[in-house]
Amino acid sequence: MKMNEKRDQFLKKYSGIMDTHNRIPLDLYERYNVKRGLRNSDGTGVLVGLTEIGDVHGYIMEEGDKIPVEGVLRYRGIDVKELSKGFQQEKRFGFEETIFLLLFGYLPSSEELSNFNEQIGDFRELPDQFTEDMILKAPSNNIMNKLARSVLAAYSFDDYAEDISVWNMLRQSVKLIAQLPTMAAYAYQAKAYYYMGKSLFIHKPDPSLSTAENLLLMIRPNRKYKDIEAEILDLSLVLHAEHGGGNNSAFSTHVVSSSGTDTYSAIAAAIGSLKGPLHGGANIQVARMMDDIKKHVSDWKSDKEISEYVTKILMKDAFDKKGLIYGMGHAVYTLSDPRAEILKEKARELAASSDRMDEFCLFEKIENLVPGIFQKLKNNDKPLCANVDFYSGFVYSILNIPEDLYTPIFAIARIPGWCAHRVEEIVSGGRIIRPAYKSVSPRVPYSSLKNRG
Ligand SMILES: CC(=O)SCCNC(=O)CCNC(=O)[C@H](O)C(C)(C)COP(=O)(O)OP(=O)(O)OC[C@H]1O[C@@H](n2cnc3c(N)ncnc32)[C@H](O)[C@@H]1OP(=O)(O)O
Ligand SMILES: O=C([O-])CC(=O)C(=O)O
């Protein structure tokens, strides 16, 4: 028998065995009062830490009951809606001051902001040979995978990689925050060249420009972008920058950092977490799901036809058969996600000016119809709102940003949050995160090889 056939047989047999031997009966979780997914029985998160960085508010507790409320998100105590309104009204980019706010805990003065922008600008370029050796020689079909590997590779270019003093973590944080857009843009160019047959171009970042402008100039063949495109991308970066300590990627950062490991390992772990389709990777899944819905629903104005197809998706009978409507639902928000509301209005404006209003209306219909269908199918009254990932990809598509970069843009936005959480963990956490797992395995005596069946 050929090795391939033997391998197929091996995988078939042992994947079945592996599955059986890793299934713990659901009733045991209840019996031992296990907080699955670190959740209490009402879906609220188990309290495992304190943070001053982000505050995510989606319900209030009243006499033991969870009462849904409109969502509010605060960065270092400042409402993100006010923060966004502030820099937009002053016609400035907001992402760099948001990074400052998250890292240092207060809004910078103009002098502090311009010094900070200089620091970021100075770090934007990748080290000598990094692009050639670490990105072009080892491209990936998946930019998040390439980003995580690039962050790990950056360890080897840092003489103080292991130093976890605050001074050094700040240096590493600013460097990684500045370089992640460059890594993502070049990783995308490498993918476009090696996997998609496109021309290869590597544009140098411009230290005098914002993160949003740099990202756009590095992914555009002619380095050109419109001001409005950079402004909207900047706003989106601000909205994605931080989400408390409990979200999966920030918590991964806390867990990994609590072992005392280096910054590159912690940030690579966070990128791996964000990539998942239940977390930041949902933005690309929304785009794929919407393409599928557009293909299968002939009348985009028909509530009936849309509802029937959405029901099929929820019943695991259509699209990726996972039973999920991506971009809907949230672990904390109930009635609304403030970021989705802002992105929705941007999506509406952009759609109106680019002849894509029919698509926008389809998104809006799905947003409005899904909660009712979900409640009917699940026989509950749980509110379900659009989350930050629902409209972001649609906005990016109008900005002509390739789908491959949707989740990497989320990572570029969220790395300041991760860095702030890493420092908070090391400065204030101070104890290795180590929850308990109860063993429910029966005791089995060892048997020697000759006595096994
Ligand atoms: C940046 C971000 O990470 S935002 C979130 C991005 N992720 C998505 O958009 C994926 C779709 N949404 C989801 O899978 C979920 O809403 C999550 C992962 C965001 C939150 O999950 P949870 O906190 O477990 O949600 P919640 O406690 O409200 O879920 C209750 C039930 O509703 C289901 N549910 C929640 N949202 C959805 C959805 N969009 N589609 C189908 N079912 C859903 C859950 O799977 C769960 O089912 P179960 O009881 O059979 O296990
Ligand atoms: O908080 C969460 O669970 C998910 C998240 O990161 C976000 O919504 O931005």
User: In this structure, is residue 97 part of a structural domain?
Assistant: yes
In whole angstroms, what is the distance from residue 146 CA to residue 452 CA? 44
User: In this structure, is residue 425 part of a structural domain?
Assistant: yes
- 242-253 pLDDT tens trace: 999 999 999 999
Q: How far is the CA of 4 from the centre of ligand 2 (A)?
A: 42
Residues with CB under 6 A from ligand 2: 56, 243, 247, 331-332, 387-388
Q: How far is the CA of 212 from the centre of ligand 1 (A)?
A: 30
In whole angstroms, what is the distance from residue 237 CA to residue 58 CA? 21
Whether residue 111 is found in the same domain as residue 237:
yes
Burial (0-12, 13-18, 19+ Cβ within 10 Å), 335 = middle
Residue 174: which of 272, 271, 93, 263 has the closest Cα? Answer: 263
Residue 293: which of 308, 278, 280 has the closest Cα? Answer: 308
Atom in ligand 2 nearest the alpha carbon of residue 330 = 3
Ligand 2 site-directed mutation target among 279, 326, 387, 406, most atoms within 8 Å of CB: 279
* pTM summary value: 0.98
| Ligand positioned closest to the Cα atom of 241 | 2
Q: Looking at this protein, which amino acid is placed at residue 296?
A: H
**Model-level ipTM above the cut of 0.90:** yes
Buried b (16+ CB within 10 A) or exposed e, 337-352: bbbbbbbbebbbebbe
Whether residue 234 is found in the same domain as residue 117:
yes
Sheet containing 65-75: order of strands: 54-62, 65-75, 78-79
User: In this structure, is residue 42 part of a structural domain?
Assistant: no
Q: How far is the CA of 279 from the centre of ligand 1 (A)?
A: 10
Whether residue 365 is found in the same domain as residue 421:
no
Give me the phi and psi of 55, to 5 degrees please. Answer: -130, 115
Instruction: Supply the range of the domain harboring residue 348.
Output: 282-398
Atom in ligand 1 nearest the alpha carbon of residue 243 = 1
User: In this structure, is residue 436 part of a structural domain?
Assistant: no
Taking the alpha carbons of 282, 284, 289, 294 in that order, is the dihedral positive or negative?
A: positive
Whether residue 313 is found in the same domain as residue 258:
no
What percent of the chain clears pLDDT 90, i.e. is strictly above it? 98
- 367-382 pLDDT tens trace: 999 999 999 999 999 8
In whole angstroms, what is the distance from residue 295 CA to residue 367 CA? 18
Whether residue 270 is found in the same domain as residue 359:
no
Whether residue 131 is found in the same domain as residue 208:
yes
Residue 278: which of 328, 236, 240 has the closest Cα? Answer: 328
CATH number for the domain that contains residue 360: 1.10.230.10
- 271-296 pLDDT tens trace: 999 999 999 999 999 999 999 999 99
Whether residue 134 is found in the same domain as residue 258:
yes
Please count the structural domains in the chain.
2
Whether residue 230 is found in the same domain as residue 342:
no
Known catalytic residues? 330, 389
Nearest CA to ligand 1 atom 48: 378
Do 407 and 284 contact (CB within 8 A), yes or no? Answer: yes
Residues whose CB falls within 8 Å of the CB of residue 212, separated by 6 or more in sequence, listed in order? 93, 95, 230, 231, 233, 234, 237
Whether residue 387 is found in the same domain as residue 411:
no
Indicate the pLDDT class of residue 438, thresholds 50, 70 and 90: very high
User: In this structure, is residue 442 part of a structural domain?
Assistant: no
Q: How far is the CA of 56 from the centre of ligand 2 (A)?
A: 9
Ligand 1 site-directed mutation target among 247, 278, 378, most atoms within 8 Å of CB: 278
Residue with tokens 């934007």: 124
User: In this structure, is residue 56 part of a structural domain?
Assistant: no
Indicate the pLDDT class of residue 160, thresholds 50, 70 and 90: very high
